[in-house]
Amino acid sequence: MDNEEVQPTRREFLSMVGAVGGAALMYQAMAMMGIAKASPYAGPIELGQAPEGTRVIILGAGLAGMVAAMELRDAGYAVEVLEYREKAGGRCWTLRSGDSYEELGGAVQQVDFAEGNYFNPGPWRIPYNHFGVLDYCSRLGVELEPFIQVNNNAYLHSTKAFDGKPVRFREINTDYRGHIAELLAKVTDQGALDEMVSEEDKALLLTSLRSFGALDEQNAYVSSTSASGRRGYERPPGGGVDGSPIPNEPIDLSTILQSNLWRNIAAGESLNTSMPMFQPRGGMDMIAQAMERNVGDLIRYRKKVTAITQDENGVSVTFEDLENGGASETVTADYCVCTIPFSILSQIEHNFSSQLSNVINSMYYASSIKVGLEFNRRFWEEDEHIYGGITYTDLPISMISYPSNDFFQKKPGVLLGAYSWGATSYQFNALPPEERVAKALEYGAQIHPQYNEEFKTGVSVAWHRVPWVLGCYGQWQDKEAQYQDAVAMDRRVVMAGEHLSYLPAWMEGAILSSLDAIKRLHDVATNG
């Protein structure tokens, strides 16, 4: 049997990578193979001139809706946007002091953060390769600052390992890599790779493994200044009489494997979580606010759409005017861009095609919970020297994300104190807001005991209880079979939003979907 016959296919190889390392690692492998790419955004869209007098109605003033409004307006279309809420932005949403939020079920939360502090219930970071979002930020003057995704001084935590005590990310990461490098060096020395690696490459491989894993000259991963230079010292380098460093002892491989803490080592290495990452200065909704200023008075707020109908002549949209006692009104246009989440759209009367209707009715929305916790002081910086980054845990809160702004400030700070999905988020959803905050405090205190003394206030957003979306992001029953039906121009209506992209839950997906939708609308409007 020759070598070509025993090589796994690309699909088989990716399946093996995914089985061992999960979706993030598989996506990395796809990127290196040229299968998965960064955002295909290639610069501002150029639609050309709209047919004179052509009207477009846009449903929803989230990012997808506002991008459509800006670009269609600039092409000469007469544009009108209907928005259910009192403000634009959709899930690009920030809560600040003085804000009030009423969730499904009637619970109301009053945000009482210190001046300048904020919490992003939805998007909270922008990957460097989400070129569409970054370009609109640049064009609209949205100031960005670094978002710290990976911090070696943050923690990895499991209730089942290390007596429930958190361990610094750098210790697990360094030790895991060192042990793996030692194992590979051993099998290389023993000749197990002779059929795969030439003698010249074997020598280079061993040299590289010593560098990669901080191995000693015998290719062993042991306590040393080389290893401690990465994982930390028993006594760090200093000055004076006791200035010489003392290395500490690595954690053995079995303990690391049994702890399962290695599962989050690669959390910051997928294409969408690789550093550098960014955030708008002052809160994620700075993007929405900039778009809202650009779109101006094209948006009509507090309009609850109740029916969408179309015929050969155009589109009619009926809505309740919530600013006018719920009075019913109907507007007409030649075309419609609908960015209403399918979780809401499925409840609205319409006469879309059966194919599109089937997709709308079958799509469900992921459950997610976020809790923002404000503390009287930034103890994670002052006591534990953690500046930004994420701590991962097997507790129901899943993670703690430290703010990437206002470092060293002697004032209250806000942590993302919980960000959970699936069954855990359903359990949080079942609690009233104040109990969600209390649970986030209870769990987080197992990692940071300062929680109990320093807590000031908190707010929680359970996305299945958000009235204007009823979930976090769209999930498909059968994306391969349904996707083209959902994105196709349905006579005079076209859909757009994150749920109609291959970047679900990301702002980039919403923007790319919107640009694709309006291009196809323009093609129909100009060519028939």
User: What does the alpha-carbon distance between residue 384 and residue 167 come to, in Å, rounded to a whole number?
Assistant: 12
The gap from C-alpha 29 to its chain's centroid, in whole angstroms, comes to 20
| Euclidean distance between CA atoms 21 and 384, whole angstroms | 30
Distance CA 496, CA 69 (A): 12
For the chain, the average pLDDT equals 92
Q: 38 falls in which pLDDT band (50, 70, 90)?
A: low
Which own/partner pairs from 346-350 qualify as long-range (CB within 8 Å, at least 24 positions apart)? Answer: 348/305, 348/306, 348/307, 348/308, 349/306, 349/307, 349/308, 349/309, 350/307, 350/308, 350/309
The three-point CA angle 390-423-477 to 5° equals 105
CA 169 to chain centre: 21
CB burial class (10 A; 0-12, 13-18, 19+) of residue 344? buried
Give all strands of the β-sheet with 335-338 in edge-to-edge order. 299-300, 78-82, 55-59, 335-338, 493-495
pLDDT at 463: 97
CA angle 167, 415, 402 (to 5 degrees): 50
Q: Rounded to whole angstroms, how far apart are CA atoms 471 and 464?
A: 4
Find tokens 């193979």 and name the residue. 33
State the virtual CA torsion across 521, 523, 527, 528 in degrees, nearest 10. Answer: -30
pLDDT tens digits, 203-230: 999 999 999 999 999 999 999 999 999 9
CA distances from 283 to 290, 361, 400 (A): 12, 34, 18
Residue 339, helix vs strand vs coil: coil
Cα(267)–Cα(301) distance, integer angstroms: 39
Query: CB under 8 Å to 500, separation ≥6 — which residues?
Result: 474, 483, 486, 487, 509, 513, 517
Query: Residue 130 and residue 41: Cα distance in Å, rounded?
Result: 8
Q: Is 173 exposed, middle or buried, given 0-12, 13-18 or 19+ CB atoms closer than 10 A?
A: buried
Beta-ladder partners of 431: none
Say if residue 15's pLDDT is above 50: no
Q: Please say whether the beta carbons of 39 and 508 come within 8 A.
A: yes
Residue 422 CA to residue 364 CA, distance in Å, equals 13
What does each C-alpha distance from 292 to 87, 206, 289, 296 come to in angstroms?
9, 57, 5, 6
For residue 58, give the 3-state DSSP assignment: strand
CA distance 119 to 413: 10
Compute the average pLDDT of residues 16-38. Answer: 44
- Distance CA(299)–CA(82), nearest Å, equals 6
Q: Pick 280 or 7 by higher pLDDT.
A: 280
Quick one: pLDDT at residue 189?
A: 86
Structure tokens at 348: 């609205």
Residues 42-92 pLDDT 10s: 888 999 999 999 999 999 999 999 999 999 999 999 999 999 999 999 999
Tell me the per-residue pLDDT of 252-283, one tens digit each, with 9 for 90 and over. Answer: 999 999 999 999 999 999 889 999 999 999 99
Check whether 35 has a pLDDT greater than 90. no
Residue-wise pLDDT for 324-341, tens only, equals: 999 999 999 999 999 999
Residue in the structure block whose two tokens are 């998965």: 36
User: How many whole angstroms separate alpha carbon 142 and alpha carbon 290?
Assistant: 7
Model's pTM, two decimal places? 0.90
Alpha-carbon distance 204 to 37, whole Å?
30
Nearest to 256, CA basis, from 182, 151, 150: 182
Q: Are strands 126-127 and 144-147 parallel, antiparallel or unpaired?
A: unpaired
Residue among 300, 339, 331 at smallest CA distance from 314: 331
CA dist list (Å): 244 to 214, 232, 481: 20, 14, 64
**Rounded to an integer, what distance in angstroms lies between the CA atom of residue 385 and that of residue 225?**
22
Give the Cβ contact number of residue 513 at 10 Å: 27
CA nearest to 391, candidates 211, 201, 165, 153: 153
Mean pLDDT of 486-497: 97
* Token pair in block for residue 460: 């929680």
Residue 6, helix vs strand vs coil? helix
In angstroms, the Cα distances linking 99 to 83, 411, 455 are 19, 20, 19
pLDDT bracket for residue 194 (50, 70, 90): confident
Is pLDDT above 50 for 237? yes
Amino acid at 351: N
